[in-house]
């Protein structure tokens, strides 16, 4: 008799954004005269850089001619893109990463999910809290998170990110084997300092743990002192892998391209103690489970590294960062405490009077026609906050801040 993986039907059934969409639809139906403004968007809104569009066209033409057709590519990605990643994302920051250590993927989300396959169910996973829900949920699907008790996963270690620790998760006293860190963080929009990352590398080395480092937003870092990669930290090559994506840095959310870096030095034992080279293991996994990211998209990704592509990406990132600054300012004017938004396209806004995040979400939605994302959806320590994103237009962002100010009189003290 066929049975399902028992971890899947026990997942909490309402995924955060589905619930947001449901409430949004209700509010729209009740106030047809009013235009909703969404600062809930976790997706880019500016078009692709023209350099990438041109590369897509040219590669499509190659696919249309017998002499230049590309069929299945290497599962780990084309050499031209792996080398470009090493040269532009790492060498420029003084970090040596070899092309053999870069695996091109169709995006960070699916890569995080598939990477879970490589580790034993008995491993203890720790997640920054709050964070992108994919980390907790893919560990849960892999059988490592235990039961969902309505608030949290019973077997996950939550690493609280709060104003008291500048929203930087700290190594726990207990053992964690898989450590999920995200800097700049989604949803808090805050970053981890070099010394915080050093503490994690030290912990991982002492505890024989592995850091999953999500650097999807590294291109938004404006503060010179903040590392863009975990591999800027000495000793990280033995204990970390890094997930990156062209989604937010170059507007590829609809094209799908990212990569995973697995240094040659990472060795993880089997349950009976024999060492396994993780790079080789992941290559073996990819050879069986993946047939590569498409050729035109890899060419488009390569084009984002050209001088023209870099300039076009910067312009878009600066415009999102300007929106983030406007949100910080607007939240402050409305009497709200706001964090993040300087090195990331997200602003983390404390709810007034310790209001629960779904209540504040409903207040902004029903009274102001303003959509944000309730912090509680990103983990237990997201309660008491909402996330506002910088991906709306500058005009909508300004209008949203006017509406926020107009509502501020009705906020509880």
Ligand X SMILES: *Cc1c(COP(=O)(O)O)cnc(C)c1O
Report if residue 83 touches ligand X, rule: CB under 6 A: no
Q: Are the C-beta atoms of 381 and 158 separated by less than 8 Å?
A: yes
Report if residue 320 touches ligand X, rule: CB under 6 A: no
Cα distance between residue 156 and residue 166, in whole Å: 22
Candidates 165-173, 241-249, 267-275, 384-392; binding stretch for ligand X (CB under 6 A): 241-249
Binding string, residues 189-228; x marks residues near ligand X by CB under 6 A: -------------------------x-x------------
Cα distance between residue 116 and residue 113, in whole Å: 6
Q: Any residues with CB less than 8 A from the CB of 48 and at least 6 apart, and which? A: 56, 250, 251, 252, 255, 300
- Residue among 38, 138, 190, 245 that touches ligand X (CB under 6 A): 245
Distances in Å between the alpha carbon of 136 and those of 127, 174, 192, 377, 379?
7, 18, 20, 12, 9
Closest by CA to 24, choosing from 44, 40, 13, 12, is: 40
- Residue among 82, 237, 248, 403 that touches ligand X (CB under 6 A): 248
Among residues 107 and 330, whose Cβ is nearest to ligand X? 107
Binding string, residues 129-168; x marks residues near ligand X by CB under 6 A: ---x------------------------------------
DSSP 265-304: T-EEE-TTS-EEEHHHHHHHHHHHH---S-HHHHHHHHHT
- Report the nearest approach of ligand X to the CB of residue 127 (Å): 12
Among residues 84 and 363, whose Cβ is nearest to ligand X? 84
Among residues 89 and 401, whose Cβ is nearest to ligand X? 89
Segments in 31-99 forming alpha helices (H): 50-63, 79-85
Candidates 55-63, 77-85, 104-112, 361-369; binding stretch for ligand X (CB under 6 A): 104-112
Closest by CA to 258, choosing from 113, 48, 91, 110, is: 110
Q: What angle do CA 336, 348, 330 make, to 5 degrees?
A: 45
Distances in Å between the alpha carbon of 403 and those of 98, 193, 357?
50, 34, 18
- Residue among 82, 109, 144, 299 that touches ligand X (CB under 6 A): 109
Candidates 21-29, 102-110, 308-316, 365-373; binding stretch for ligand X (CB under 6 A): 102-110
Among residues 131 and 349, whose Cβ is nearest to ligand X? 131
- The DSSP bridge partners found for residue 37 are 370
Phi, psi of 203 (to 5 degrees): -60, -50
- Residue among 75, 181, 182, 324 that touches ligand X (CB under 6 A): 182
Size of the site for ligand X (CB under 6 A): 13
Q: In what order do the strands lie in the sheet containing 338-340?
A: 338-340, 346-350, 385-389, 373-374
- Report the nearest approach of ligand X to the CB of residue 258 (Å): 4
Candidates 76-84, 103-111, 321-329, 352-360; binding stretch for ligand X (CB under 6 A): 103-111
Among residues 108 and 349, whose Cβ is nearest to ligand X? 108
Report if residue 292 touches ligand X, rule: CB under 6 A: no
Q: Any residues with CB less than 8 A from the CB of 83 and at least 6 apart, and which? A: 99
Q: Any residues with CB less than 8 A from the CB of 400 and at least 6 apart, and which? A: 37, 39, 327, 330, 370, 388, 392
How far from each other are the two terminal CA atoms of the chain, in whole angstroms? 58
Task: Give me 190's structure tokens.
Answer: 């805050």
- Report the nearest approach of ligand X to the CB of residue 204 (Å): 20
- Report the nearest approach of ligand X to the CB of residue 381 (Å): 16
Count, in order, helices (H) and strands (E) of the chain: 12, 15
Report if residue 186 touches ligand X, rule: CB under 6 A: yes
- Residue among 40, 258, 292, 330 that touches ligand X (CB under 6 A): 258
- Report the nearest approach of ligand X to the CB of residue 170 (Å): 20
Report if residue 107 touches ligand X, rule: CB under 6 A: yes
Candidates 13-21, 61-69, 247-255, 270-278; binding stretch for ligand X (CB under 6 A): 247-255
- Residue among 38, 45, 229, 247 that touches ligand X (CB under 6 A): 247
Binding region for ligand X (CB under 6 A)? 107-109, 132, 182, 186, 214, 216, 245, 247-248, 253, 258
């Amino acid at each position: 008799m066929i049975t399902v993986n028992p971890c899947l039907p026990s997942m909490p059934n309402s995924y955060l954004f589905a619930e947001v969409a449901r409430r949004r639809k209700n509010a729209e139906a009740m106030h047809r005269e009013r235009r909703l403004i969404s600062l809930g968007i976790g997706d880019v809104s500016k078009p692709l850089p023209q350099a990438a569009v041109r590369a897509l066209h040219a590669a499509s033409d190659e696919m249309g001619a017998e002499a230049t057709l590309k069929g299945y590519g290497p599962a780990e990605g084309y050499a031209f893109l792996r080398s470009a990643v090493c040269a532009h994302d790492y060498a420029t920051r003084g970090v040596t990463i070899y092309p053999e250590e870069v695996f091109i993927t169709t995006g960070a989300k699916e890569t995080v999910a598939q990477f879970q396959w490589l580790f034993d169910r008995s491993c203890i996973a720790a997640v920054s809290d709050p964070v992108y829900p994919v980390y907790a949920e893919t560990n849960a699907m892999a059988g490592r998170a235990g039961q969902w008790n309505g608030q949290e996963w019973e077997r996950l270690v939550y690493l609280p990110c709060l104003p008291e620790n500048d929203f930087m998760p700290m190594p726990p006293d207990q053992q964690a084997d898989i450590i999920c860190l995200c800097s700049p963080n989604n949803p808090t929009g805050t970053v981890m300092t070099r010394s915080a990352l050093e503490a994690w590398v030290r912990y991982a080395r002492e505890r024989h743990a592995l850091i999953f480092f999500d650097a999807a937003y590294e291109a938004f870092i404006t503060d010179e002192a903040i590392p863009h990669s975990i591999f800027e930290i000495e000793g990280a090559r033995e204990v970390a892998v890094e997930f990156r994506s062209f989604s937010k840095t170059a507007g590829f959310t609809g094209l799908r391209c990212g990569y995973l870096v697995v240094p040659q030095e990472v060795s993880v034992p089997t349950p009976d103690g024999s060492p396994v080279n993780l790079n080789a293991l992941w290559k073996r996994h990819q050879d069986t489970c993946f047939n590569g990211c498409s050729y035109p998209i890899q060419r488009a990704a390569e084009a984002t590294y050209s001088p023209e592509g870099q300039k076009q990406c910067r312009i878009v990132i600066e415009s999102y960062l300007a929106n983030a600054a406007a949100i910080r300012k607007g939240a402050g004017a409305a009497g709200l405490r706001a964090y993040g938004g300087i090195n990331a396209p997200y602003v983390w806004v404390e709810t007034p009077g310790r209001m629960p995040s779904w209540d504040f979400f409903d207040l902004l939605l029903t009274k102001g026609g303003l959509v944000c994302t309730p912090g509680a959806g990103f983990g237990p320590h997201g309660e008491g906050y909402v996330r506002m994103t910088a991906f709306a237009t500058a005009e909508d962002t300004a209008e949203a801040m006017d509406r926020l100010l107009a509502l501020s009189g009705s906020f509880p003290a």
